[in-house]
Structure 1
Amino acid sequence: MKIKGLFASGLPLMLILAILCSSCAKSNDPRSEVDDFIESTPEGTPTAHYGGLYPIKTDKQLTYWAELNGNAGSIKPSFQDVPFFQEWQRRTGVKLDFVQPPANQAREAINVLLASGDLPDMLEYEWANFPGGPEKAINDGYILRLNDVFDKYAPHLKKYLSEHPEIDKQIKTDDGSYYVFPFIQGDDMLRTYQGPIIRKDWLDELGLPLPVTIDDWYTVLKAFKEQKGIEAPLTFLGVPNPLFGLESGGFVGAYGIKKGFYLDQGEVKYGPLEQGYKSFLALFRKWYAEGLIDKNIATVDTKTLDSNMISGRSGASIWNAGAGIGTWQPIVMDKQPKAQFVPAPYPVLQEGDKPKFGQRTYAYTGSGGVAISSKSENVEEAARMLDYGYSPEGHLLFNFGIEGLSYVMKDGYPAYTDLILNNPDKLVPAQALAMYTRASYFGTFVQDVRYMEQYYLLPQQKEALKIWSNTDAERTMLPQIPKTEQESTELSAIMLDVTTLVDEMSLKMILGIEPLEAFDDYAAQIESLKIHRAIEIQRNALERYQKR
């Protein structure tokens, strides 16, 4: 790796050293439980077959840059120690040398990596959100345009895209370029997984119903604070930016707007410009002053969030059915048998109203895709390995793991074993899944709804899907809209300044540092930063997308 390029990027010395160390201190394919399982498996069983194209005949070792998933990282320190990645290499015949950035620093680390010019064969990153867009990443010589690569070396992905033209449209740039092997959510049921969560046992204790309106929530949070002595009744993610946990529309959506771009009867709008955002800030300013919101609003990360909810420091949040309810419930219930974490609907102003917004992802989210770098001398091997996830055998591996170990076939249904659902080492299902599959996070495959049918073991999780899906999010969210390189570059530059100002404005007003009367001045500043040009870019791209 080129040291000069790293220091020229202006990143902190410790981060640079951590990145360098992560790329040189890699495991050498240690013997694992997967090896032991394979050796004990009789010849001719399903685990011995990987399709006609695999394993690939090669002695090359390819490099793969990615951040290790948090659930996997809490159990194993590196990719090479995770059984899934051992099995993926074994089946495809391609050995990998992983370059692993520090946890939660992927965005900073990839800037260092790109500046160095010393690029690995494959890079797993949010390429849809690359500054200037993925077309710029291609034109700047960082990643390959994959159209010819798909034609030559990715028959399984090509087949899937030909059968799903709407997905095919989403994973191309506006210039028609493929740029990643994508993560695709293969069923509508997979696209909603997050929403409000609350301690129902506390509600029952206080004689309060499940909150529906903003007024209901105020009553509940105030009772948690005053009658139960809860330090931070409501907590949510404030990292990587303020109010991050509310970006799907929680609480702010009750005022008919969203903290970002959205569609209002087909018209593109930007929420922080609207008067409804001022009303939301007034609400949270009041709640913060009364101690109803975590005082550490700007620094709550996932570990802090877990700690708040498990310890009882907080009693309500907005988080996931799996990583939230599925993780907190068994841990807390072990010591407090009556504890209940349950889903609540997205808050509205008037009872009977349908929430305008809610968490809802795209079939292709733009995250978790893997690009092939322009510096790679192993394009064929990289592409064939990445294409494996879209094959029938790869689909089962990525979603369910290894047959006979992490799942068994029951009448054609891949059923998880107790290794996943009742792990002997006391791993919660989210952790066990991250060890043997990629079903619960991103990767180069199509996510299977049968994973969720089993992953959501608790009745509260199943109920969460119904409650959180009952919104108008499908009509108010912008499609995953490709843009031209020029549009992406201009939009990124505008929104970098706008979002910085909005985050600063929002936090200062909620904390009481700035008066609410300053809102109109802040809105004028947002307009001076060319937000209306950003809205125009979104509108133009939407119109082109709809005409495709």
Structure 2
Amino acid sequence: MGATTRKRPVAGLLGLLAAALLLGSCGFGGMADQPDRRTAEPGERLTYWAELNGNASSVRPTFQEVPFFQEWQKRTGVQLDFIQPPANQAQEAINVLLASGELPDIMEYEWSNFPGGPAKALSDGYLLRLNESIDKYAPNLKAFLEANPDIDKQIKTDDGSYYMFPFIQEDDRLRTYQGPIVRKDWLDELGLAVPETIEEWHEVLLAFKERKGVVAPLTFLGVPNALFGIENGGFIGAFGIKRGYYLEEGRVKFGAIEPAYKQFLALFRQWYAEGLIDPNIATVDTKTLDASMVSGRSGASIWNAGAGIGTWQPILQGLDPNAKLAPAPYPVMKKGEKPKFGQRVHPFNSAGVAISAKSKHVEEAVRMLDYGYGAEGHLLFNFGIEGVSYEMDGGQPRYTDLILNNPDRLAPSQALAMYTRASYFGPFVQDKRYLEQYYSLPEQQEAVAIWSNTDAAEHQYPQTQKTEQESAELSAIMQDVQTMVDEMSLKIILGIEPLDAFEGYVEQMKAIGVERAIEIQENALERFRQR
């Protein structure tokens, strides 16, 4: 991006971004040859609580306006009234919802975040235990779990209770989709290579600041909590730790109390003082992240191959044909080292759709949620509507230009969010064929290969289940610990407190039980290994 383009007013660029994200008329077709389905009684409606995905909400602000949700209701015969919390506020909103006692029929959430965990949500009467209902009304999910016992054991509580309809990423190639992204055209202009080491990253960010006049060279998500965007090991991982829980030689560690975390804080304290990190580090959300990267306010980030590269690059090239993004490997200390950490999700990560214990429409809700695990539902959730968002070609579903070359200038990530749930979680099994087409840019395909080349699998803490007592105790401890980690990290990075304050924070975390939290995680891990 040249100097003239770089000095273009941000408001003008944001207007162009808004125009690029605008959806005009979105076609919507029906389906032929529908199989017999159990439907809700005429006029009967179920309530459905969920946060709308950011790619979808950037185009249509409510669930009822999104073609996928219209089609899902049409096919199952179930009418839904959606209850939609504000963006990025699901955790706060669901606590208020549950406390009110006025529960919707269906709730979509990452249930490991519930205070006390899923077992507590069941025993407190919020969620319905689904074992009997799955046996009666969910033949598709039941068949999948019987065929996949390793996944089956991950989605139940320790006493064997099913509590939600899970999102499953069965294929290993679906589990890494996030990593460092940098403006390659700027690197070329400055005569710099894609950075690999911390030292090279410092050189690149400094050049963006001093030679390109970039306001916030490195930006990443700072919500829902501080440093959220680098929790998977970006920059922190170069010091041999993660910020949260991980495994080291089979034992559980919590990175924010390790001495290496102080070394990371020292690095980011220096970079912040040098103006290399977004000054709004604590408040960056997905919208401001998008705006910074497409306006040239920032030149590097950690984000997704789809929502990052796939969304930003077409918009950038619409503003400047020479603009180009490139994936970078997770940073290391020494050239040639393999990154120890990187983003990698579990086949199941506790995100799923539960039914309220108070619902009077259990059969209708279960049959609707089971739809995504059947052959026809699998196609809808992953590819959308045949003849509209995909066509069958040689027995394979192929996205149409509505998705890959949208006439209303939607990025593929946004078009997909209109017609499918393939790029974010829901009650279904994700299909690797979606990714093979979704990552249509060579930079996206290169990104997955680069970001997957880590030892993250060896150090990943598995998706264990806790007892109700353990979950309650762990949640209470970690709520205070996480608050302290966030507070400590920001104060030290921003220069509000000295670097040597780190040891005092660690002692405080030990005093409020972080070592007991690690013990709980160890106990749950041992039970998981013995299943």
Q: TM-score range by the shorter chain?
A: over 0.9
Deviation at 1:88, TM superposition (A): 0.7
The offset of 1:63, in angstroms, is 1.2
Deviations 1:359-397 (A, max 9, x none): 000111112x11010110110110001000000000000
CA distance in 1, matches of 2:388, 2:496: 56
1:496 aligns with 479
Match of 2:437 among 454, 471, 477: 454
The answer on 1:340 being equivalent to 2:334 is no
Write out per-residue CA displacement over residues 523-542 of structure 1, whole angstroms, 9 at most, x where no aligned residue: 11111111111000000100
Question: Aligned to 2:277, what secondary structure does the other structure show?
Answer: coil
Could you tell me how far apart the structure 2 residues matched to 1:447 and 1:97 are?
Answer: 25
Q: Which digits, 9 at most, give the CA deviation of each residue in 1:56-103, with x for residues without a partner?
A: 263221111111112111222221111111111111111112122222
- Cα gap change, 1:231 to 1:33, in 2 (>3 Å): closer
Q: Quote the residue 2:156 is aligned against.
A: 172
Residues 459, 33 of structure 1: alpha-carbon distance in 2 compared, 3 angstrom cutoff = closer
How many pairs align? 506
How far 1:133 moved relative to its partner? Answer: 0.6
* Structure 1: distance between partners of 2:61 and 2:282: 28
Q: Is 1:79–2:63 an aligned residue pair?
A: yes
Q: CA deviation at 1:312?
A: 0.6
Equivalence for 2:206: 222
Name the TM-score, length of structure 1 as normaliser: 0.91
In the alignment, what sits opposite 1:254? 238
- Partner AA of 2:161 in structure 1: S
Which residue number corresponds to residue 284 of structure 2? Answer: 300
Amino acid at match of 1:166: D
Q: Does 1:380 align with 2:380?
A: no
- Aligned counterpart for 2:263 among listed residues 271, 279, 302: 279
For residues 26 and 173 of structure 2, the distance between their equivalents in structure 1, rounded to whole angstroms, comes to 34
Contact map agreement 1:51 1:393 (CA 8 A) in 2: no
Is the 8 Å Cα contact of residues 244 and 254 (structure 2) preserved in structure 1?
A: yes
Partners in 2 of 1:351 and 1:504 — Cα distance?
33
- Deviant stretches of 4+, over 6 Å: none
Deviation at 1:128, TM superposition (A): 2.4
Residue matched to 2:118: 134
- Quote the offset at 1:186 in angstroms: 2.5
1:523 aligned residue: 506
Q: Does the CA contact (< 8 Å) of 1:55 and 1:91 recur in 2? A: no
Report the more deviating stretch, 164-173 or 69-78: 69-78
The equivalent of 2:311 in structure 1 is 327
CA distance in 2, matches of 1:295, 1:527: 31
Q: What is residue 42 of structure 1 aligned with on the other side? A: none
In 1, Cα distance between the equivalents of 2:62 and 2:492?
42
Matched, 1:464 2:447: yes
Shift of 1:32: 8.6
5 Å matches for 1:185-200? Answer: 185-200=169-184
Spell out the pairing of 1:417-432 with structure 2 (5 A cutoff).
417-432=400-415
- Among candidates 127, 139, 156, match of residue 155 of structure 1: 139
Q: Partner amino acid for 1:257?
A: I
* AA at the equivalent of 1:169: K
- Alignment of 1:100 with 2:84, yes or no, is yes
Distance verdict in 2 for CA 1:187–1:398, change over 3 Å: same
Unaligned runs of 5+ in 2: 1-24
Q: Distance in 2 between matches of 1:510 and 1:409?
A: 53
Matched, 1:444 2:437: no
Aligned to 1:203: 187
Q: Which residue does 1:70 correspond to in 2?
A: 54
User: How is 1:468-487 mapped onto 2 (pairs within 5 angstroms)?
Assistant: 468-487=451-470
Other-structure match for 1:234: 218
**Amino acid paired to 1:491:** L
Instruction: Determine whether 1:317 maps to 2:301.
Output: yes
Task: State the alpha-carbon separation in 2 of the partners of residues 344 and 290 from structure 1.
Answer: 22
Task: Report the AA paired with residue 442 of structure 1.
Answer: F
Displacement of 1:522: 1.2
The Cα offsets for residues 33-74 of structure 1, whole Å up to 9 and x where unpaired, read as: 43xx33xxxxxxxx323444x252632211111111121112
Which string of whole-angstrom CA distances, capped at 9 and with x for unpartnered residues, describes residues 113-148 of structure 1? 111111111111111221101010011111101111
Structure 2 residue 393 is the aligned partner of structure 1 residue 410? yes
Q: What whole-Å deviation, never above 9, does each CA across 1:412-450 have from its counterpart, x for those lacking one?
A: 110001111111111111111111111111111001011
- Match runs of 1:500-519 below 5 Å: 500-519=483-502
> Does the CA contact (< 8 Å) of 1:356 and 1:471 recur in 2?
yes
- Cα offsets for 1:486-511 (capped at 9, x unmatched): 00000000001111111111111111
Task: Note the 1:48-63 alignment, pairs <5 A.
Answer: 48-52=32-36, 54-56=37-39, 58-59=41-42, 60-63=44-47
Cα gap change, 1:371 to 1:57, in 2 (>3 Å): closer
Contact 2:179 2:329 in 1 (8 A): yes
Q: What's 2:14 paired with?
A: none
Residues 38 and 367, structure 2, Cα contact 8 Å, conserved in 1: no
Q: For residue 15 of structure 1, what is the aligned residue in structure 2?
A: none
Q: Contact conserved, 2:177 with 2:451, CA < 8 A, in 1?
A: yes
Unaligned ranges ≥5, structure 1: 1-30, 39-46
